[in-house]
Amino acid sequence: MKVLWICGLPDAIRQKAYDKVLSPTPTASWSWILGHLPPPNNIELHILCPVGGLYADRVDFDYMGAHWHCVRLKRFEICFLWYRFFLYIRPLVKSLKPDVIQGWGGETGYGRLATLISKNAIVSVQGLLAMLSHNLLTLKHAKERIDLRTRLTRLCERKAYRSAKLLLVESEASRCGLLEFYGERGQIVPHPLRDEFLTADLSVRQKLSKSPVKFVYVGSLIERKGAIDVVVAFAASSRKDTKLVMIGDGEAKSKIETIIQERGMKDRVVIKGVLPADKIVDEFKNVQFFILPSYGDTGPTALKEALACGLYPICYDNSGPRDLISRYGCGTLVKTADIGCLSVAIDKCISKIEDCVQDGLSAAPKVRNDLSRNNVWEQLFNIYKANICFS
């Protein structure tokens, strides 16, 4: 079966897959795309990536069992102008003659592009902008300023979901959000995790209940992910002998650095920036607790990665985090936006660290099984068989 995916170019592919760096512009990790690779033998997978700053008009190569087709995205081209890009790539798609076309994400424009190519396209629901915005604004009691680009991005997302033949969601939270905020129904297929997280050595975690206490945050340093809340709650914790590692980057970094400076935590909090998967796994080895007080997530992938590596999570009680922590019986949920409760939870988890380490070790094999490449591809193949749909 020949399958065409339309998605962003994962940063690891941008840097390492070709004989030169494909573009000077960093891209997202798109870790769930990499988690699918290589595909099973019964799938011929082609991946089409619009790339800003691509060094040539088009670059084709094979990597990790997939056939990659990178096409240069014109400067200033944004999600709601995909129609020009569709006309440009139409000859390429016709020459491939895929049995199935799947676009990844509505807010990214890739889902909309897939629906322009085929009236029978499958679209993977990723962000759900309406749900995420509602959660943040309601819980933070804030007002939202919506500029023209934001309005058009949301329009693009809605149009992609309404035009798709089938919508795939990664979680129950995503399925419910899609129905509540968009009036559309989706079928759940989880995203697989990259091998680095599925094969991490769990035996080293047995000793962590007696080791110095460390927390790790992995995610964009932005308000919606709770990055500022993490630092404030950590500062208020009664345990001053603990350390926090923050992996990621974003617009809240300078504010976080100011809080660290003002509250005398320079020796306790380290910001490491964006790291590749193997480096994240290295950081996880000596950490007992994962903390991500997100205000809304369809995943989040970082939480799945932490669970697969045996870490014990502390998260706000909403959407995707609630789904995952409830499903695997590992973690602590805290009232969303309550930083005081988050700080108390940090202290409570430290006080029962032995139980938390064991809970993490018990949950990891279940997460690895559910989010393994083979398990997810089996579900996808059955869906594709029922939706041979290029037209």
pLDDT at 266: 94
Residues 97-120: pLDDT tens digits?
Answer: 999 999 999 888 899 999 999 999
Residues in the chain: 391
Stretches in the chain below the pLDDT threshold 50: 391
Q: β-strand 214-218 against 243-247: which pairing, if any?
A: parallel
Residue 127: its pLDDT value, please? 81
Chain-centre distance for alpha carbon 195: 15
Quick one: fold of 2-192+372-385?
Rossmann fold (3.40.50)
Q: What is the model's pLDDT at position 232? A: 97
Domain boundaries, the chain: 2-192+372-385, 195-370
Within 10 Å of residue 53's Cβ, how many Cβ atoms? 15
| 248 Rama sector, left if φ>0, alpha if ψ -120 to 50, beta otherwise | left
Q: Cα torsion for 196, 201, 202, 204, to the nearest 10°?
A: -130
- How far is it, in rounded angstroms, from Cα 129 to Cα 150? 10
Numbers of helices and strands, H then E, in the chain: 16, 14
Beta carbons within 8 Å of 144's beta carbon, 6+ residues apart = 133, 137
Region of residue 128 (phi > 0: left; psi between -120 and 50: alpha; otherwise: beta) = left
Domains 2-192+372-385 and 195-370 share a fold: yes
Element spanning 167, H or E? strand 166-169
Tokens of 171: 């979680």
Question: What residues are paired with 49 via a beta bridge?
Answer: 70
Give the CA distances from residue 3 to residues 6, 86, 107, in Å, rounded to whole numbers and listed in that order: 10, 18, 22
pLDDT digits (tens, 9 = 90+) for 177-194: 999 999 999 999 999 999
Task: State the pLDDT at residue 391.
Answer: 45
CATH says 195-370 is which class? alpha beta
Q: Which pLDDT value is given to residue 73?
A: 87
